[in-house]
Amino acid sequence: MNQEQVEIKTPEFVSLQFQLAGLGSRAAALIIDQLILTVVSVLVIVGMSFVEFDQMSLLSLPELSSLPIAIAIILIFLINWGYFFVVEYFSGGRTIGKKMLGIRVIQDNGHSLTVLSSLIRNLLRIIDSLPASYLVGMTMVFFHPKHKRLGDLVAGTIVVHERKGKRNKKMSSIEKEIEFRGLQASDLSIDEWTLKTLGTKEWNLLKTYSNRLLQLPYSERGELTREIATILFSKVGLETEYKTTRELENTLLILYLLLKEEWEFEL
């Protein structure tokens, strides 16, 4: 496996080191995704065949109706194209295959994949797949210094390796506080679409708040907590009324954990 590293300077002037995903890992992830899509496509065809069989039985018509066939073709096209766009966007740049291989798509600036970049890179998948078996895309990934296919070039994205679960890493003070309070990301139920309404501005605000929380005197902490909660909770449909400062802090810290999974990568 290639071990090429790329350094990215974020808009916040933070330098990040990423290990690029090469042709081998990307091809393996694509094979897994294509196997999943093949199974789903077969199920769609089988399902539509049963619908056609039922129609012929009810109408006693020997000829084959073209409507179920047309529906099956449209469904298969939407599933095969939409899978990569939807799953990559809502799973932080990871399809099922990418997640199994430990790789993900991010933007060139180190930030999480946006809906526009996901849309562009996957629309151009049509060209990358030409003339067959992703020959154009694989050739570009092999020869490009950052292992980019055409979709990555136009969308401004790269595919990198993840290395999560390093327990020897020293925990920050806020991570220790979150652990002490027994908070987990699963403690707050917010759907992915709602969570995506929080962008870079909201993440930077929440990150700054969380990192400064323990340094603030109690006289200032409550007021700042309520101000931040009012700004962020309204965007994700959470209430601030009738909640104590401690409850608001806990909710903000859980929200911090949820966004941290998408905006900060342990690579």
pLDDT at 158: 92
Rounded mean pLDDT, 20-45: 91
- Predicted confidence band of residue 266 (pLDDT cuts 50, 70, 90): very low
- Predicted confidence band of residue 95 (pLDDT cuts 50, 70, 90): very high
Q: How far apart are the first and last CA of the chain?
A: 16
Alpha carbons 173 and 79: distance in angstroms, whole number = 44
- Predicted confidence band of residue 30 (pLDDT cuts 50, 70, 90): very high
- Predicted confidence band of residue 202 (pLDDT cuts 50, 70, 90): confident
What's the DSSP call for residue 159?
Answer: E
Is a pLDDT exceeding 90 seen at residue 171?
Answer: no
Are the C-beta atoms of 125 and 112 separated by less than 8 Å? Answer: no
Is a pLDDT exceeding 80 seen at residue 167?
Answer: no
CB atoms within 10 A of CB 95: 23
Rounded mean pLDDT, 86-104: 89
Alpha carbons 198 and 232: distance in angstroms, whole number = 8
pLDDT at 267: 45
Rounded mean pLDDT, 196-221: 86
Residue type (1 letter), 142: F
Rounded mean pLDDT, 229-255: 89
Is a pLDDT exceeding 90 seen at residue 39?
Answer: yes
Percent of the residues in the chain that have a pLDDT greater than 90, as a whole number: 28
* Summary mean pLDDT of the chain: 83
The phi and psi torsions of 68 (rounded to 5 degrees) equal -60, -35
Instruction: Point out the least confidently predicted range of 30-39, 63-72, 130-139, 207-216.
Output: 63-72
Beta bridge partners of 105: 159
- Predicted confidence band of residue 103 (pLDDT cuts 50, 70, 90): very high
